[in-house]
Amino acid sequence: AGGSVTLTCSVNPSPDKPVLTVSPSWLSPGASVTLNCEVEHPSAGWRFYWYKTVPDLSHNSYIYELLPGNSSGTEQDSYIVHGQTHTAGYVCRAGRGDPVFYTDNSEPKFVWSGDLHPAASLTVNPDRVQHFYSDSVSLSCEGNSAEWRVKRFNEHGYQSDCSDWRRMTGSTCNMRLYWYGNAVYWCESGSGEFSNAVNITVQSDYYYDIILVSPVHPVTEGESVSLGCRFRTEEKLSSVFFYHNDKLIQNDTRQELNISAVSKSDEGFYKCQWSGRKSAQSWMSVKVLCCPRSAFKFILIIISLLLLFLTFHLVVINIPH
Ligand SMILES: *[C@@H]1O[C@H](CO)[C@@H](O)[C@H](O)[C@H]1NC(C)=O
Ligand SMILES: *[C@@H]1O[C@H](CO)[C@@H](O)[C@H](O)[C@H]1NC(C)=O
Ligand SMILES: *[C@@H]1O[C@H](CO)[C@@H](O)[C@H](O)[C@H]1NC(C)=O
Ligand SMILES: *[C@@H]1O[C@H](CO)[C@@H](O)[C@H](O)[C@H]1NC(C)=O
């Protein structure tokens, strides 16, 4: 008799797994990070527990460390992290009752920083945001560790790991063929560090035959930057038009868009156009230098006031009685 077997694959998350949201997704200097933990049946009595993830390469997972605060959790379903400067991952869970019934841990969620730092950094070769599907792209991790893994978070919210495809050679991930679409990539080290994160777009050669050549890492204010446009056959194109946030900003015979001293207002989405074809758009991030003029002025005022006070004091003390 011909029996049949039905296999059902369900993608519903476990019913008692809370959903963590982290905002913003990309760190900006001085801003705090808000974590929200959502349980399926919100009601009074839940307490929320907040953890930071530490990469654990030997178990291909994370270690969870309790974030500062009350170790018996918080009543609020949100938590604010202050002073975060590098890429970080978080997890939450909820608990209630006596003895406490705990939910599963949420999936880890991340806040990303584009700034390179020496303990862990990710570089991309070729060094640009957009690539053709047929290109061979490598992602290299460098810093205080001999062991690395490259993580990816795609536009649909799926996380994966370069080693899932066995494409990791030493500290380099060779992305050829396996990585498609828009995604954020970063490195995690054997010593528990997160690197800077980068946006990478791998284009279908079918939909786009030109790509924008733009920097993967944030450009520092005051530096120069050059954006270009590339045809699939790698020719350098001339008479390329450039758009910034959908506004045409250069339309002549030049090959590149050169900005000699970048400012914060140059940040945004860029795309190029050549002979009627348009590339996809990509974000160029501008890193503002530390210590804006206003902070410097503020310090000057404080010093002047102090000097004034001291002089006044000396004069008063020295007045003969
Ligand atoms: C932690 O929270 C519990 C329950 O709200 C409370 O009884 C306890 O005093 C808190 N501990 C600290 C150190 O705030
Ligand atoms: C990645 O892209 C997002 C917008 O899609 C942007 O906010 C973020 O700053 C980009 N990161 C870097 C490092 O360019
Ligand atoms: C460039 O743009 C200007 C203003 O939109 C327009 O007058 C001019 O014809 C354009 N030049 C070319 C080469 O398309
Ligand atoms: C842009 O800058 C590059 C060097 O970064 C230079 O080689 C090129 O000639 C410049 N292009 C234009 C159009 O100014």
Q: Does residue 306 lie within any of the structural domains? A: no
Say if CB 212 and CB 229 are below 8 A apart.
yes
Q: Is residue 26 part of a domain?
A: yes
pTM for the whole thing? 0.84
**% of the chain exceeding 70 in pLDDT:** 86
Q: How far is it, in rounded angstroms, from Cα 189 to Cα 144?
A: 8
Q: Of 184, 204, 224, which residue constitutes the final position of a domain?
A: 204
Distance 183 CA to ligand 4 centre (A): 30
The answer to whether residue 318 sits within a structural domain is: no
Atom of ligand 1 lying closest to residue 75 CA:
5
- Both 266 and 282 in a single domain? yes
Q: Domain check: are 64 and 148 in the same one?
A: no
- If asked whether residues 103 and 53 sit together in one domain, one would say yes
Question: Is 8 among the domain residues?
Answer: no
In a domain, 61, yes or no: yes
- CA pair distance 238, 272, nearest whole angstrom: 11
**Structure tokens belonging to residue 47:** 């307490």
The answer to whether residue 36 is domain-embedded is yes
Tokens of 135: 């290109």
List strands edge to edge, sheet with 138-143: 120-125, 138-143, 172-174, 168-169
CB 289 within 8 A of CB 221: yes
Q: For residue 90, what pLDDT is reported?
A: 98
Tell me, what CATH number does 145's domain have? Answer: 2.60.40.10
Residue to probe by mutation, ligand 2, list 227, 264, 285, 286, most atoms within 8 Å of CB: 285
Task: Grade residue 133 by pLDDT with cuts at 50, 70 and 90.
Answer: confident
For 170-185, the pLDDT digits (tens) are 899 987 656 678 999 9
Instruction: Say whether both 186 and 156 belong to one domain.
Output: yes
pLDDT at 236 over 80: no
Pocket lining: 226 vs ligand 4, CB cutoff 6 Å: yes
C-alpha–C-alpha distance, residues 24 and 7, integer Å: 39
Domain that holds residue 47: 19-111
Kindly report, residue by residue over 259-304, the tens digit of the pLDDT: 999 999 999 999 999 988 899 999 999 999 875 555 666 677 777 8
Q: Which residue has the higher pLDDT, 134 or 139?
A: 139
pLDDT for 320 beyond 50: yes
Shared domain for 230 and 245, answered yes or no, is yes
Total count of domains within the chain: 3
Closest C-alpha to ligand 4, atom 14: 258
Question: What number is the average pLDDT over the span 64-89?
Answer: 94
Give pLDDT, residue 114: 96
